[in-house]
Structure 1
Amino acid sequence: MPTVVIWKNGEPHRDEVADNTNLVVRAGIRKFPYPHLRYGCGMGKCAKCACRVLAGAENLPAPNWKEQERLGERLAAGWRLACQLWLHHDIELSQDDKQA
Protein backbone atom coordinates (compact mmCIF):
# COMPACT_ATOMS: atom_id res chain seq x y z
CA MET A 1 0.00 0.00 0.00
CA PRO A 2 1.50 3.34 -1.03
CA THR A 3 2.16 5.94 1.64
CA VAL A 4 1.11 9.44 0.61
CA VAL A 5 2.37 12.62 2.25
CA ILE A 6 0.79 15.92 1.24
CA TRP A 7 2.30 19.14 2.56
CA LYS A 8 -0.28 21.87 3.02
CA ASN A 9 0.24 25.10 4.96
CA GLY A 10 3.63 23.83 6.09
CA GLU A 11 2.23 20.69 7.72
CA PRO A 12 2.45 17.10 6.48
CA HIS A 13 -0.68 14.99 6.14
CA ARG A 14 0.27 11.30 5.85
CA ASP A 15 -1.67 8.09 5.29
CA GLU A 16 -1.68 4.90 3.27
CA VAL A 17 -3.90 4.33 0.24
CA ALA A 18 -4.75 1.22 -1.74
CA ASP A 19 -2.69 0.41 -4.81
CA ASN A 20 -3.90 2.15 -7.98
CA THR A 21 -5.48 5.04 -6.06
CA ASN A 22 -6.25 8.42 -7.60
CA LEU A 23 -6.21 11.08 -4.87
CA VAL A 24 -8.82 13.32 -6.48
CA VAL A 25 -11.24 10.43 -7.02
CA ARG A 26 -10.80 9.40 -3.38
CA ALA A 27 -11.31 12.98 -2.19
CA GLY A 28 -14.42 13.36 -4.33
CA ILE A 29 -16.09 10.31 -2.81
CA ARG A 30 -14.94 11.35 0.67
CA LYS A 31 -12.82 8.25 1.18
CA PHE A 32 -9.52 10.08 1.31
CA PRO A 33 -8.05 11.25 4.62
CA TYR A 34 -6.57 14.50 3.28
CA PRO A 35 -9.18 17.24 3.67
CA HIS A 36 -6.55 19.75 2.56
CA LEU A 37 -6.18 18.46 -1.00
CA ARG A 38 -7.15 21.22 -3.41
CA TYR A 39 -8.93 19.95 -6.53
CA GLY A 40 -11.64 20.94 -8.97
CA CYS A 41 -12.88 19.17 -12.08
CA GLY A 42 -10.94 15.90 -11.73
CA MET A 43 -10.45 15.73 -15.50
CA GLY A 44 -7.23 17.69 -16.04
CA LYS A 45 -8.98 20.84 -17.25
CA CYS A 46 -8.79 23.27 -14.33
CA ALA A 47 -5.34 22.42 -12.86
CA LYS A 48 -6.53 23.23 -9.30
CA CYS A 49 -5.03 19.93 -8.13
CA ALA A 50 -1.52 20.86 -9.33
CA CYS A 51 1.08 19.55 -6.88
CA ARG A 52 4.84 19.69 -6.75
CA VAL A 53 6.27 16.17 -6.37
CA LEU A 54 8.84 16.20 -3.56
CA ALA A 55 9.61 12.46 -3.58
CA GLY A 56 8.55 9.49 -5.67
CA ALA A 57 8.53 11.13 -9.10
CA GLU A 58 10.68 8.30 -10.47
CA ASN A 59 7.74 5.93 -10.01
CA LEU A 60 5.22 8.04 -11.92
CA PRO A 61 4.39 7.64 -15.60
CA ALA A 62 5.42 10.37 -18.02
CA PRO A 63 3.09 13.39 -18.01
CA ASN A 64 0.13 12.95 -20.33
CA TRP A 65 -1.06 15.54 -22.85
CA LYS A 66 -3.42 17.16 -20.32
CA GLU A 67 -0.55 17.77 -17.90
CA GLN A 68 1.67 19.02 -20.70
CA GLU A 69 -1.01 21.45 -21.84
CA ARG A 70 -1.97 22.73 -18.36
CA LEU A 71 1.42 22.77 -16.64
CA GLY A 72 3.82 23.54 -19.49
CA GLU A 73 7.22 24.59 -18.15
CA ARG A 74 6.24 23.75 -14.57
CA LEU A 75 6.59 20.03 -15.43
CA ALA A 76 10.37 20.47 -15.43
CA ALA A 77 10.12 21.85 -11.87
CA GLY A 78 8.32 18.71 -10.67
CA TRP A 79 4.67 19.78 -10.96
CA ARG A 80 1.96 17.23 -11.77
CA LEU A 81 -1.85 17.13 -11.76
CA ALA A 82 -3.04 14.88 -8.93
CA CYS A 83 -6.19 14.01 -10.89
CA GLN A 84 -4.06 12.40 -13.59
CA LEU A 85 -1.99 10.19 -11.27
CA TRP A 86 -2.88 6.63 -10.27
CA LEU A 87 -0.54 5.76 -7.42
CA HIS A 88 1.32 2.48 -7.07
CA HIS A 89 4.27 3.68 -4.96
CA ASP A 90 5.01 6.04 -2.07
CA ILE A 91 4.80 9.71 -2.96
CA GLU A 92 5.29 13.09 -1.26
CA LEU A 93 3.50 16.13 -2.68
CA SER A 94 3.11 19.80 -1.87
CA GLN A 95 0.39 22.28 -2.64
CA ASP A 96 2.08 25.00 -0.59
CA ASP A 97 3.55 26.75 -3.63
CA LYS A 98 1.80 29.26 -5.88
CA GLN A 99 -0.62 27.41 -8.17
CA ALA A 100 -1.25 30.05 -10.85
Structure 2
Amino acid sequence: MPIVTLHKNGSTYRDEVKPSTNLVVRAGIKQFPYPNLAYQCGMGKCATCACKVLAGAEHLPPPNWKEKKQLGERLEQGYRLLCQLWLEHDIELLQEPAAAAA
Protein backbone atom coordinates (compact mmCIF):
# COMPACT_ATOMS: atom_id res chain seq x y z
CA MET A 1 0.00 0.00 0.00
CA PRO A 2 1.30 3.47 -0.85
CA ILE A 3 2.94 5.55 1.85
CA VAL A 4 2.27 9.28 1.59
CA THR A 5 4.62 11.79 3.19
CA LEU A 6 3.36 15.39 3.26
CA HIS A 7 5.59 18.28 4.31
CA LYS A 8 3.82 21.50 5.23
CA ASN A 9 4.66 24.49 7.43
CA GLY A 10 7.76 22.79 8.81
CA SER A 11 5.89 19.65 9.87
CA THR A 12 5.83 16.19 8.28
CA TYR A 13 2.74 13.99 8.10
CA ARG A 14 3.03 10.37 7.00
CA ASP A 15 0.50 7.58 6.58
CA GLU A 16 -0.33 4.56 4.48
CA VAL A 17 -3.26 4.73 2.05
CA LYS A 18 -5.05 2.16 -0.07
CA PRO A 19 -4.04 1.82 -3.73
CA SER A 20 -5.98 4.05 -6.16
CA THR A 21 -6.35 6.74 -3.50
CA ASN A 22 -7.04 10.39 -4.24
CA LEU A 23 -5.77 12.52 -1.34
CA VAL A 24 -8.28 15.33 -1.89
CA VAL A 25 -11.17 12.87 -1.73
CA ARG A 26 -9.73 11.42 1.49
CA ALA A 27 -9.29 14.89 3.02
CA GLY A 28 -12.87 15.72 2.05
CA ILE A 29 -14.16 12.80 4.11
CA LYS A 30 -11.83 13.74 6.99
CA GLN A 31 -9.24 11.01 6.51
CA PHE A 32 -5.48 11.52 6.20
CA PRO A 33 -4.15 13.98 5.02
CA TYR A 34 -7.03 15.95 6.61
CA PRO A 35 -6.74 18.58 8.14
CA ASN A 36 -3.20 19.24 6.89
CA LEU A 37 -3.83 19.32 3.15
CA ALA A 38 -5.11 22.57 1.66
CA TYR A 39 -7.73 21.89 -1.01
CA GLN A 40 -10.95 23.44 -2.27
CA CYS A 41 -12.84 22.47 -5.42
CA GLY A 42 -11.50 18.97 -6.06
CA MET A 43 -11.98 19.40 -9.80
CA GLY A 44 -8.73 20.97 -10.99
CA LYS A 45 -10.17 24.48 -11.25
CA CYS A 46 -8.57 26.29 -8.31
CA ALA A 47 -5.06 24.76 -7.81
CA THR A 48 -5.41 25.01 -4.02
CA CYS A 49 -4.24 21.39 -3.70
CA ALA A 50 -1.04 22.00 -5.70
CA CYS A 51 1.99 20.24 -4.21
CA LYS A 52 5.59 19.82 -5.25
CA VAL A 53 6.42 16.14 -5.72
CA LEU A 54 9.71 15.48 -3.91
CA ALA A 55 9.81 11.72 -4.57
CA GLY A 56 7.69 9.28 -6.55
CA ALA A 57 6.96 11.46 -9.59
CA GLU A 58 8.17 8.68 -11.89
CA HIS A 59 5.09 6.65 -10.93
CA LEU A 60 2.58 9.38 -11.77
CA PRO A 61 0.77 9.72 -15.09
CA PRO A 62 1.63 12.68 -17.32
CA PRO A 63 -0.11 15.95 -16.36
CA ASN A 64 -3.61 16.28 -17.79
CA TRP A 65 -5.02 19.40 -19.44
CA LYS A 66 -6.35 20.75 -16.14
CA GLU A 67 -2.91 20.56 -14.54
CA LYS A 68 -1.30 22.17 -17.58
CA LYS A 69 -3.82 25.01 -17.48
CA GLN A 70 -3.63 25.64 -13.72
CA LEU A 71 0.06 25.02 -13.06
CA GLY A 72 1.79 26.22 -16.24
CA GLU A 73 5.51 26.69 -15.52
CA ARG A 74 5.17 25.12 -12.08
CA LEU A 75 4.79 21.71 -13.79
CA GLU A 76 8.46 21.97 -14.78
CA GLN A 77 9.30 22.64 -11.10
CA GLY A 78 7.61 19.39 -10.07
CA TYR A 79 4.18 20.62 -8.98
CA ARG A 80 1.02 18.59 -9.49
CA LEU A 81 -2.66 18.96 -8.56
CA LEU A 82 -3.47 16.28 -5.98
CA CYS A 83 -7.16 16.29 -6.93
CA GLN A 84 -6.13 14.92 -10.33
CA LEU A 85 -3.97 12.05 -9.06
CA TRP A 86 -4.89 8.53 -7.97
CA LEU A 87 -1.91 7.12 -6.08
CA GLU A 88 -0.58 3.62 -6.63
CA HIS A 89 2.96 4.09 -5.24
CA ASP A 90 4.77 5.85 -2.41
CA ILE A 91 4.96 9.61 -2.80
CA GLU A 92 6.57 12.50 -0.93
CA LEU A 93 4.98 15.94 -1.26
CA LEU A 94 5.58 19.52 -0.21
CA GLN A 95 2.68 21.93 0.03
CA GLU A 96 3.75 25.52 0.36
CA PRO A 97 1.30 28.29 1.29
CA ALA A 98 2.29 30.34 -1.78
CA ALA A 99 1.73 27.35 -4.09
CA ALA A 100 -1.65 26.58 -2.57
CA ALA A 101 -2.82 30.17 -2.93
CA ALA A 102 -1.70 30.57 -6.55
Q: TM-score range by the shorter chain?
A: over 0.9
Alignment of 1:1-100 (within 5 A): 1-96=1-96, 98-99=98-99, 100=102
1:63 aligned partner, one-letter code: P
Aligned residues of 2:15 and 2:32 also touching (Cα < 8 A): no
Gaps of 5+ in 1: none
- CA RMSD after TM alignment: 1.0
CA positional deviation for 1:31: 2.3
TM-score using structure 2 length: 0.94
Gaps of 5+ in 2: none
Q: For residues 10 and 33 of structure 1, do their structure 2 counterparts lie closer, same or farther at Cα, with a shift above 3 Å needed?
A: same
> SS of 1:70's equivalent?
helix
Percentage of identical aligned residues:
68
Q: For residues 19 and 87 of structure 1, do their structure 2 counterparts lie closer, same or farther at Cα, with a shift above 3 Å needed?
A: same
Structure 1 runs, 4 residues or longer, greater than 4 Å off? none
Residue-pair matches, total: 100
TM-score using structure 1 length: 0.95
2:7 aligned partner, one-letter code: W
